Chain A
Amino acid sequence: MTELRTASVDASPASRAGTASARILTAVQAAGLPIAIALLVGGIVLAVTGNNPFVIYGMLVRESFGDINRIDATLAAATPLLFTGVAAAFAYRAGVFTVGVEGSFVLGGLTAAVVGSSVGGLPPVLAVVLTLVAATAAGGLAAVIPALLRARWAVDEVVTTLMFNFIVIGVASWSVQSFFQQRGQANSATAYVAPAAELPPLNPPNQANVGLIIAIVVVVGYAIWMRRSVLGFEFRAVGSAPRFSLAQGLRVRLVVFVAIVGAGLIGGLGGGAHALGIVHRYTSGFSASFGFTGIAIALLARFNPIGIVVGAILFGALNSAGSTVQLFVNIPIQLIDILQGTVMVFAVASFAIPRFMKRARRGAGRDDA
């Protein structure tokens, strides 16, 4: 056998550098292009409504990063998005396109509010941990049925998780009104959580809180787990090459199940942290579509952990600055929605179109004998 072995020949350094820089270029293109187009569209909207885009954009930047308080507000707004972004990326890495994080976030939030209001007698750390564990479990529970349907019977997860969002959010509203409504509240809201269960702010009286730290830990955990764990490896393999993974005897069904439930767990934790850190209770409209914004962030970042952090801060900045900029100038309130919506549309498009083209080419170009 020895005579068969030849020394492995290194590829030329030039070609290797080529692939590395090409990869970075595609990543920047993938994320930068949707953002650039969104800024352009937003600029046009501003110009049409008689505003100077550059002035308004400058104001947006100042309002999101201008001083320590503004940065704090941006980070507070980014915190739920970090959770939902990682949750979406977690499932998408395995090629599973769950959209159920929104429902898990809501159920996690409600659970945290209910549990958190009744743990006043416990020491703070224990109260918080207990409440967040309950929220995480609730988020995972909301995803179990779609996960089983997909892993066992290959039922399309986009449809089931989307439908489950409606179910979960409906059940949450109903149960608040029926069981948990705080007396004396006009709209449906639970009681405030016990002070012991609140996530303390990092820089009082600003809003960014310990939830941000937890979110960063989750992002780091996600990055390490994907690279270093056996199941994380299988996630990447199944997401990148499903038929190959099946033929290699990887645990494809387990991966699919864990992907959907895991996204729910992370989403539930995010909802819990949002309830304990910012809202301190559950009210209708608890989630400002954080679950869906998380999808855009995950796609924009191509599941890269650093990209998720950048994306969450970007969307967080839009949210926090958007609401204050309106105090100073008369811009259409929908501008922020337009910017977010455009980024999302093009993020999804820049992710989906190359896949679609690849499939079309594969269909057309058939090998022949």
Chain B
Amino acid sequence: MNTSTQHPDSTHHPEPVLLAAFLDGRLSEQQRLEVEAHVDCCPICCDAMSRLPLDPLSARLRDISDDDVDDNSDWSIVTDPGLPRSASPTQNAAPVLPAELHDHPRYRVLEPLGRGGMGVVYKAQHRMMDRIVALKVIDSRLIDNPQMIDRFRNEVKAAALLNHANIVRAYDAEQAGSLHFLVMEYVDGISLAELIQRKGPLPAEQALGVVRKVAHGLQHAYQHGMVHRDIKPQNIMVTRTGKVRILDFGLARFAREREHSAATTDADPDSILQRTAESLTLVGSILGTPDYIAPEQVMDAHQADTRADIYSLGCTGYFLLTGRPPFPDGTAVQKLMAHRDQTPIPVTELRADVSPEITSLIERMMARDPDHRFQTPLEVATAIHDLNTASTSSDAAVKSEAAGDRTDALRLDSASSARPPAPSAAPTPSATRTPSSTVDAVDGPDVFSHIARRQDAVSGRRVQRAATKAVRWTKPIGVTVLTLTMLLVVGLTVHESQTEPEPAPDSTPRNTQTASESLTESPMLPTEVPIRVLMPGEWMNLIPQIDPSRDTVAGVWQNVNGELSVEAAVSARLVLPVAVPAEYDFDIEFTRHDGVHSIALVFAVGDHQATYDIDAWGEHVAGIQNIGGQSIQPSRPNSTMVPSQQLVNGQRYSAEVRVRRDHVQAWLNGQLLTTYHGDGSDLSLIPEWRLPGFTDSLAIGAYESSTTFHRIRVRAVQR
């Protein structure tokens, strides 16, 4: 080596500040070369540098997604010859290529890659762009009506906005005949589930490296207001070079909601219990067993925020370290209950060579109370980084252990002795069985739908629609509104009668899942599941359902003591978490405390929205607007405008709209004020009340006036 002459006296060492500048690249090139020459042959300065703190740029490097380049952990197992390379081992013959994909104008299918929970994946070539992509053909059970097609497209669109090294790029949602498929980045790798199956538990450092990369990907999504909702080893790919990619952003949510809407199809409480259990089965078959689901998702899927993903990532880390999920035993229902009520066996008890720090990191990710977890994925990544730093600078024992671990990993024979043998609970796909039928075929005419929700309650940065269309009643008979707080059936669901019943879940073929287990026994439901069933025609009070942090469009709204209040602000408005049928009544009671402007009820008719405004435009008019583009401004009046409707501040009013197929009535204090006649197709919202992303929602508004809403309720109209 070049022992340079700039510092011939080996006792003359650069000052720590100079060493720090050297290490962080802050010296001029000439100075840097001088120090470099010294460092090249000085162990003392190397030792000194090992104790230097990171400068801001170096610290930032740790935060950026870092796997565009080989991280050099050993991932050779990923392409081990002789092993099936698909994302899930195909137990059946190769899938038959659907006719729609023969001679597709844009894609030339090269080979099947495997079957995932949601359908078959093919490797394909984009004919024009010569790009290799993966096509995921969505199981036709998941997309069987126009609403679901819309939802699928919207989810893919939202996911396509994500662009991060740790997230599989989604390019487009495509259709060929009746076939729907997702076009996404082709990743030459295997899932973490498969990796552990082949290799057994990972060395701690490697496992944490994977968790950190996934956390970076989740952070990116979080910053875009997106939650994955189904983080698990099956949904995370690793490549031969150690790149880590999260699969199926958007799809998990889509599938879960699809499943529960398909599964809850009866009004009778006993049947609902059974159908809820049934939905577990369905979810189990489509998305795998609930080994990685967060407790709050068990209780209310719509409330899940980024911290639910952190929980699931914690479970995934647990799996990478121990080779088994945190709660490996029991039925799907028992597992769900375990996530809600139990603490798993600490990692360190299953794996003696894992430090208590790592064990507690995983435990903190998996705290049952979301508030006790890391609050953002970035916090997880930073904590892992800090663990590494701590082991680098302070603890020689940890260092040598880590080094040993790595060497061990490099040898990579399954007999490496430092690691515990893979528990038998490693993900062995069990044969899929049809669950014992506890429920008769769905014979009612009703199909549940559920509500459009924003998923960005935490970040609050982007309006994003989870469910893009609320299905409407086509024949409003047997109307039932119910609330379940069990598993995925959440909040307010409104069901719809359809001429064709959903196929009974049991009658659907199940041969398309290979990597997931199914529930094999009659599910056991806990007795404390609160279920409320409203009978047809019954009012539903919406105020308890409202979460201002989630439902606010503009203004400052608060839910206090069963009343909703809003501060004076321009166009303050809030969407109501309810999906409505074609005909319904929407009723509020309110007190305007100050201000001179209008209180509005935003209602929906078909695909159109309009408002019933009271005391509007500073001219004390009331009525429905816009009709044919005309407002109720006296300068641009329409047929529903009623003059002299000044609200007295401090006085309590009731207002109601009654929406019917061919007309809408506006009521004030029990008096019919005015009626719009029409099918709604000429209705529109004035810009002040527009609800971006919620084009079929109900909402309330208060223009520059602090107001209390004492009551907000809806009821489906019974014919």
B is bound to A: no
Q: Which residues of B contact A (CB under 8 A)?
A: none
